Amino acid sequence: MAPVRETTATTPPASEEANVPHLIPQNIALGEYIFLRIAQANPKLKTIFEIPGDFNLNFLEYGYSPLVTHEGIKLINTCNELNGTYAADGYSKAIDGLSVFVSTYGVGELSAINGIANAYTEYGAVLHIVGTPSLRQREEAKSKIVNIHHLVPNHDSLSAPDHDVYKKMVGGVSCIQESLGDNMSDNVAKIDKVLRTIIQERRPGYLFIPCDVPDLPTPSNMLFEKPFSPLSQYQGTAHAKAVLNEVTNSILSLLYQSSDPSLLADCLITRFGAQKELDNLIEKLPDSVKLFSSNYGRNIDESKSNFVGVYMGAGSSDTKVRRLFEYSDFLLLLGYYDTEMNNGGYSRDFSRAINTVIVHPDYIQINNSIHHIKQFNGEKLFSMGDFLTNLTEKLESSQITATRSSTYQFVPQDTHIASKTDNLYCPQSKINAFFTKHLQPNDLFIVDTMSFSFGVTDIKFPPNVHLLSGWSYGSIGYAVPATFGTTMAINDLGSNQRIILVQGDGGAQMTAQEFSSFIRYHHILHNLPKVFLINNEGYTIERKLKGPTRSYNDINGLWKWSKLLSVFGGVEGETHDAYKIHNVKEFDEHFGNGKLGDSSRLQFYEIIAGKFDVPARVDKMMTAK
């Protein structure tokens, strides 16, 4: 039961009036406090994803409090906990900030761990709130054996179960974990610590809330006496500024001396919210500095005259792109994410450069010298955005002595060669060429882990396309619920940004039920995605690795994908449009003008692809040394 409210009201400071009602009670429930603090931590957040369970229902009830709904916050169900965490990860990346998923104890949080591990690997700022057994139940367990539902028994049948058994499982896949209790001062401090850490680390964290704790009365002035700040305790200090200036000056000195400098922008720039700062730096650089993007990044304007191509060792756009990068004398790698799907299976090579600078959110490495941004207590001296801003402000373009050595720029070639099989299916080369021609500036381009993802390197991106993937963790099926999350985010922002998903049939069968959420919430979504479902009857990328005809790489290929949204309750022509594209001729007839249909309805394209057909780059990468 919620606490009795005091009759006297509190007026927040003027600076906070835009964030809360003008009058709120002196005491509010802790559940309300948590929702309101989340809103302060990310004012853009309007959607909280959740799956109800008996241990989190008390907390979820406060999501309907007038104080919370006044903030525009809404609770959105996903079909299961795994999908919920994927959706929250997509939401976080699309809205560039904190997102939230709420599950129940045990069965809920365990189903979510895989998605949380994805968010940790892929740098998603997801707060996972878990409703747990009550404080009374936990206290009772200290003196007698009480086996409750959702909690596994102790190995020793004569011992009480461990209520923290699941909490112990998530230490390696989250950046912080805190449990709330009955001490309100501690609770408030823990909530802020969790929120701040997740925002700084861009990785998931946990808040475990016993089911009787949300009702505890909390002084509302705690929301305003200490406004929420995501900043590290070090940011802006003299020491932080000194380190920032030291590394900036060192990097600029090496750049000014270089005769053939190259800059590579990687995905951690975008995932840590520093895209604008990167754009500002690139605009100030002369065209004698060659520009490259990583496979995961694709966050540089590829129409710029000094953009060369995608570098990832043997998987680079082509051999000339690789050579122009690796034979530079100065390499500046910004937001570098070192993983084999992003560095060509560790075939990337920095050995020829006289000077190499790697800028990571946790450290800056200048040749063999490492400057730790992340301190021993986990707090950071400055952010990626702080660094790029400082670098741009201090940069004197006229001191860059390098002259332009190359005007080469990778231009993707249409590798589709007409053949008899064109009547049977649509090869992925055809789909690649379509996106090179018809992606638009500012598109949100979501690609699941699948054979098609290897061909994305060969797609030319127009300016400001945002590539979203989970390729490093590689959990297939991520992209369907992640697209639901991004769609919620884009709509919460009021944006008309085009949302495009490319999804394989094998991965989609893992999370396909989330397509029903697009139908369920159609009434609040003015902007819906374009879905390219590539149907090639199984795990085609695995077929290239081993067992091309083995049954373990097969799936049920009889799904009627173009009918799926209607099965989920949709009305074709009203909630969605669905098409089945059988071959090249039908592809050309449908997509010849490049138009992808009305965004007010979900556009679903089932494209029949070859069972063994893959982008040409797959074979190149598998044979490259």
Q: Is the pLDDT of residue 360 over 80?
A: yes
- Is 182 annotated as a binding-site member? no
pLDDT given at position 3: 40
CATH of domain 238-399: 3.40.50.1220
Q: Can you tell me the mean pLDDT for 16-44?
A: 83
Compute the average pLDDT of residues 382-400.
Answer: 97
Which residue bears the tokens 């049977």? 424
pLDDT at 68 over 70: yes
From the list 585, 615, 596, the residue with the least C-alpha distance to 427 is 615
The pLDDT value recorded for residue 22 is 54
Give pLDDT tens digits for 257-273: 999 999 999 999 999 99
For the chain, the domains span: 27-225, 238-399, 428-623
Candidates 116, 122, 200, 212; CA nearest to 166 is 116
The mean per-residue pLDDT over the stretch 480-503 comes to 98
The predicted structure's pLDDT at residue 252: 98
Average predicted confidence (pLDDT) for the chain: 93
Homologous superfamily (CATH) of 428-623 is Thiamin diphosphate (ThDP)-binding fold, Pyr/PP domains (3.40.50.970)
pTM across the whole model: 0.94
One-letter amino acid for residue 146 of the chain:
V
What value, to the nearest 5°, has the Cα angle with vertex 321 and ends 316 and 324? Answer: 130
Q: How confident is the model at residue 622 (pLDDT cuts 50, 70, 90)?
A: low
Question: Percent of the chain at pLDDT above 90?
Answer: 85
Where is 291: in which H helix or E strand?
Answer: strand 290-293
Residue 582 has pLDDT above 70, yes or no: yes
Q: Give the strand pairing for 369-372 and 363-366.
A: antiparallel
438-466 pLDDT per residue, tens: 999 999 999 999 999 999 999 999 999 99
156 is in an annotated binding site: no
DSSP 123: T
- Domain 27-225 fold is Rossmann fold (3.40.50)
Q: Do the two domains 27-225 and 238-399 of this chain adopt the same fold?
A: yes
pLDDT of res. 621? 63
State phi, psi for 101 to the nearest 5 degrees: -130, 135
CA separation for the pair 625, 614 (Å, rounded):
20
Here the tokens at position 47 are 């959607």
Residue 352 confidence (pLDDT) above 70: yes
Q: What confidence category does residue 617 fall into, taking pLDDT thresholds of 50, 70 and 90? A: confident
110 confidence band (pLDDT: 50, 70, 90): very high
- Do the beta carbons of residue 104 and residue 150 sit within 8 Å? yes
pLDDT greater than 70 at residue 601: yes
Distance CA 522, CA 22 (A): 33
Q: Got the DSSP string for 8-44?
A: SEEPPPGGGTTTS-S-EESEEEHHHHHHHHHHHH-TT
58: which 2 tokens?
């008390």
> Contact, 549 vs 555, CB < 8 A?
no
Alpha-carbon distances of 617 from 265, 282, 475, 588, rounded to whole Å: 22, 29, 21, 23
- Of the two residues 364 and 17, the one the predictor is more confident about is 364
Q: Which pLDDT score is estimated for 506?
A: 96
Mean pLDDT over 277-296 rounds to 98
User: Is the model's pLDDT at 255 over the cut of 90?
Assistant: yes
Average pLDDT over residues 427-440: 94
Over residues 133-186, the pLDDT tens digits come to 999 988 887 778 888 888 898 898 888 888 899 999 999 999 999 999 999 999
Q: Two tokens at 42? A: 């990310």
C-alpha distance from residue 408 to each of 208, 324, 427 (Å): 54, 9, 29
| Predicted local confidence at residue 9, as pLDDT | 45
Using CA of residue 341, residue 343, residue 344, residue 346, what is the dihedral sign? negative
- The yes-or-no verdict on residue 530 having pLDDT over 50 is yes
pLDDT at 237 over 60: yes
Rounded Cα–Cα distance for residues 450 and 502 (Å): 9
- 251 three-class SS: helix
Does 538 count as an annotated binding residue?
yes
